[in-house]
Amino acid sequence: MVAAGNNDHSLRYLTDPGKDWTPFTAELINAYINHLKTLYDLGARKMLLVSVYPVGCNPVLLQFLNKTTCVDELNSAVMGFREQLLRVVKRKAELGMPLAKFSVLNSAKILLDVINNPQPTGMRYVRGMCCELAPGSGSCARNGRLCKNRQEYLFMDGVHLTSAGSAILADKAYNSKDAYPINLKELYLSFYKF
């Protein structure tokens, strides 16, 4: 499983809002490809690639920007990054990974679906955090207050999901069409097939 790019997108937005995302995305994808090739050269053949979360909805970012709604520009950049990941999957042979089998999880879509319609998941708090943040941080404060029912929260702290949020992603990765070109179950069942 490879999951990378969340912090890169958030920090890029905070340092250069409004700038063209194309060069940034190209640079990040090239670094991503190099990491995948390293894993491939070490023997990895089946990989779940978790696309970047909708980091424009991260509670700490919204708190920092004093916003109550997600940052559309940032979430659009995340979707663009996913599109580039899909191109990597289609070009795997050309990129020197002909035997690789990839599954790309559309975590941005999955989490935006939860944020926009939390009731089916049992979530009640999709914009807030389950813990008290450490000053100047997106992480939980040591010995800080915690929410009583973590199952009702999507975010544990300002940037990380609760176990309930992660379970939603895991279930979708395994069972749904939100993974391309195959889901994790299909990837697993192809264990002995190349």
Instruction: Quote the pLDDT of residue 136.
Output: 86
pLDDT over 90 at 16, yes or no: no
Q: Which CATH number fits domain 2-189: 3.40.50.720, 1.10.260.40, 3.30.465.10, 3.40.50.1110?
A: 3.40.50.1110
Does position 131 have pLDDT exceeding 70, yes or no? yes
Give the helix ranges, DSSP H, for 17-71: 22-41, 59-65
Q: What are the structural domain ranges in the chain?
A: 2-189
Instruction: Note if the pTM is more than 0.85.
Output: yes
Residue 16: exposure state from Cβ atoms within 10 A (0-12, 13-18, ≥19): exposed
Rounded distance, CA 129 to CA 159, Å? 9
- Please state the rounded mean pLDDT for residues 106-122: 96
Residue 191 has pLDDT above 80, yes or no: no
SS3 content of the chain, % helix, strand, coil (to 5): 50, 15, 40
pLDDT at 188: 85
Q: What is the pLDDT of residue 193?
A: 57
What is the C-alpha to C-alpha distance for residues 41 and 26, in angstroms, rounded to an integer? Answer: 22
Region 22-35 average pLDDT? 95
What mean pLDDT is predicted for residues 67-77?
95
**Average pLDDT of the residues in 36-52:** 96
Average pLDDT, the chain: 93
The SS3 call for residue 87 is helix
Average pLDDT over residues 136-151: 92
With 90 as the cut, is the pLDDT of residue 98 above it?
yes
